[in-house]
Structure 1
Amino acid sequence: MRRTLAVLIVLTACSAPAPPRSAAPSPTPPRPATLAAPTGEHPVGTTVLHLTDASRPDPWNLDAGARELRVTLWYPSGRGAGERAAYMSPRESELTLAGSGAAGVPPDILSRTVVYATTDAPAPGRHPLVVLSPGFTKPVSTLTSLAEDLASRGYVVAGVDHTYENYATTLADGAVAECLACDSDTDPGFGTGVVGNRAADVSFVLDELLKKKPAMIDPTRIAMAGQSIGGASALAAMAADPRIDAGINFDGTTYARLPRGFARPFLFVGTPQHAPGGRDHSWDRDWNLLKGWKRWLTVTGADHQSFTDLPQLQSALGLKPLAGTPGAARLAEITRTYVAAFLDEHLRSRPQPLWAGPSSRYPEVKFGS
């Protein structure tokens, strides 16, 4: 299915429908984007792990006898020289743009996005872990701005590319896996199936990271966050795996009903369509099953991709900001601030006054219940 680039910016196949808003082409030739700089005190390192779960077949590729996952780690690093990391490869950029229906921009433009992490930098110390899961068709690199900021604040971040669920994932042998799941996204029960697969992916990733990186990761302080169906998967993964201490859902319809409630902290952050009593009722249903600390935030003017890197990539994609939406820098600040406050409160036991109620510094953020 072809998708226009404007649809990429506003919607994904795994969100409740929202009114489309047009984005006018930029009159100037696009140039590579530069992500917002991390705000914490630590330099940021990054590395890629290729993990294979031989205990289960791949749910999308029937020819694969095992589930192979690509995991990107961002972490607080020591001082030292290192090569600047790539946002994605030229081939990943090409396939991502083609799958999104993009035209009129260089096919490698996303691969030239400027980031701040350096590859394979030293990783001193042991830190809390945050797992990130992206929206459907999106690589986890579209959450890089948040990941780098969290790493600079002292968190290890594990971004999971759920193979065959986005337009391009580079595997251990260099082959690029494309989106096999995209042919099934209108099937009955599709969202529920994806959420279940991702919960299994995350539990396997935790097994491997806690075994392979014991000097880097504190196993008693783990959280998960995701956007769109990645956010729905955070809720499902918490229900399935008690090692996950806290979770965040960015604007993800929760297709799979929780089998039971739990009392661990959870944060909903969404667009106005996800306001209490709004057009998407899945959060109302799940809210009542959460028995611990919980908050429900909506951001005025935000659209479905506002909590990802995509607002920061618009100029590179030849687009102007959508009318009525906060600017890219402001959206990054809001996302980073509230995520860090949530994690500091619940993984580091540092009380945050931001949770007392609406803030005059962030009037766009509305509290609901």
Structure 2
Amino acid sequence: MRLHSIFLLPVSLAAILVPPPSGPFKVAVTTQDLLDHQRPDPWGFDTIPNRRIAVSRFDPYPAKSCSSYKRVPYMTSVVAAEEDRILDPYEWPLGVLGQLELEFCSPKKSKVSKDTPIVLFSGGGNTTRFYYSALASEVASRGYTVITIDHPFETDIVEFADGSIAYGGHYSARTNLTFAETAIAVRAADMSFVLDTVGLKNRKKDKSLAFGHSFGGAATAEAMRLDSRIRGGVNFDGLLFGPVVKSGIGRKARAEQSFVLFGAEGHNSTEDPDWHTFWTALEDQRLWKRELNLKGGAHGAFWDLNLIADVADVRGLFGQYTEEDLLSKLLGKRVYEIVTAYLDDFFQFALGRKDEGLLNGPTAQYPEVEFL
């Protein structure tokens, strides 16, 4: 009989604080449910007939604007319990997620600078947005408002403010389209809706940015195809699905857009046929693009669990095979140092504020990044 990992690993019951972000700004967080009155829920499972999503918003503030600091749970107890259940077959130590806390700024005034760029984030398939809160905080600390999005009935679990729960995995009987193509289209629509809610409604003049991990990276590409307000996008190691694979992003009479494919080691447009088709389409459209590879980085490098393993001191304490499925050989702190630096330079370039910066070519500062 295999015992649960909670009995195998020496996990303290004390709170575990995730290190604060390293950028020049402090970060405040708010969570919110958003209801799209114009769109029925595509999965048809919500008691509310219109599309409802949950988001976390990470805003940057100068340190002098913070009246105090507060600790909040990394994820709610309900979500942590469900994620424990999902991770149990991987022998991840139960209870760690429920111990984690993040520290945020409590601002004297809730308004951020009107010049602060809006950045959307979409996470991996069936993956709660909470697994990217440390990454979102890190990016926000560079001067961006980062909004992470849960996509209900596709994401494994979404807990709304009223306590209701939307579980993923109930979509196959509701549509004759493939799950991937349907879910990508839903995510893209969710992302456009979020831009509407924050007041960016002019599709010719307004500018925003987006990035995503895994399935969320594919959603970022599709959202850019449909919405020219997203001027720059990054796909962290996501397979590509849907119309964007063949059509690419750019079209005539569209705003100028830029895109980065940032793959884990071994995942690139030479080895991945869909990445190759997509890359060729961008080449034909003469769209500015870069393809980068994270040497030593696995698919699990780009989410918080890779950082959490170090913060909670559990790296190497569970099965080697399953650890390779979840984490990366590169430590979480170093990965986030790298990707945030490249995101910052790319976002500024995509907004027309500076030149290519780190995207111009290899640098000795980040030897882990390979230009393809």
Could you say whether these structures have the same fold, taking a TM-score greater than 0.5 normalized by the shorter chain as the test?
yes
Answer with 1 or 2: which has the greater Rg.
Answer: 2
Matched residue, 2:220: 234
State the AA in 1 paired with 2:261. F
C-alpha contact (below 8 Å) 2:129/2:149 kept by paired residues = yes
Q: How does 1:245-260 map to 2 (within 5 A)?
A: 245-258=231-244, 259-260=247-248
Give the 5 Å matches for 1:276-315.
Answer: 276-278=269-271, 280-290=272-282, 291-315=286-310
Structure 2 distance, partners of 1:332, 1:36, is 12
- Give the direction of change, closer, same or farther, for the CA distance of 1:207–1:156 in structure 2 (3 Å limit): same
Change beyond 3 A, Cα 1:26–1:330? farther
CA distance 1:248–1:30, change in 2 (3 Å) = farther
Instruction: Give the residue type in structure 2 aligned to 1:42.
Output: F
8 Å Cα contact 1:250/1:268 also seen in 2: yes
Equivalent position of 1:172 in the other structure: 161
Structure 1 length normalisation: TM-score? 0.82
2:195 matches 1:206? yes
Q: What is the alpha-carbon distance in structure 1 between the residues aligned to residue 113 and residue 196 of structure 2?
A: 20
C-alpha contact 1:99 1:167 (8 A) present in aligned 2? no
Counterpart-to-counterpart distance in 2, 1:196 and 1:52: 18
1:351 and 1:63 mapped to 2: Cα distance? 45
Q: Does 1:73 align with 2:40?
A: no
Alignment of 1:154-173 (within 5 A): 154-173=143-162
1:93 partner amino acid: A
Point out where structure 1 has 5 or more consecutive residues left out of the alignment. 7-24
Change (3 A) 1:114 1:273: same
Quote the Cα distance in structure 1 between the aligned partners of 2:17 and 2:237. 25
Bigger shift: 138-147 or 56-65?
Answer: 56-65
Structure 1 counterpart of 2:97: 110
With 254-263 and 286-295 compared, the bigger mean Cα shift is at 254-263
Tell me the TM-score normalized by structure 2: 0.82
Larger strand fraction of residues: 2
Alignment of 1:1-369 (within 5 A): 28-29=10-11, 33-64=16-47, 65-77=49-61, 78-102=65-89, 105-107=93-95, 109-118=96-105, 122-126=110-114, 127-181=116-170, 189-210=178-199, 220-258=206-244, 259-262=247-250, 263-278=256-271, 280-290=272-282, 291-315=286-310, 316=312, 318-320=314-316, 322=324, 325-347=329-351, 349-368=353-372
Percent identity (aligned): 28
CA distance in 1, matches of 2:236, 2:289: 14
Aligned residues: 338
Q: Secondary structure at the match of 2:207?
A: strand
Gaps of 5+ in 2: 251-255, 317-322
Deviation at 1:96, TM superposition (A): 1.4
CA distance in 2 between partners of 1:236 and 1:30 (Å): 43
Name the one with the larger helix percent. 2
* Distance across 2 between alignment mates of 1:79 and 1:324: 35
Secondary structure (helix, strand or coil) at the match of 1:326 reads coil
Partner of 1:14: none
Give the 3-state SS of the residue equivalent to 1:341 in structure 2. Answer: helix
Aligned-partner Cα distance in 2 for 1:120–1:161: 25
The structure-2 alpha-carbon separation of the partners of 1:324 and 1:190, relative to structure 1 and needing over 3 Å to count, comes to closer
Do the aligned partners of 1:133 and 1:226 also contact (CA within 8 Å) in 2? yes
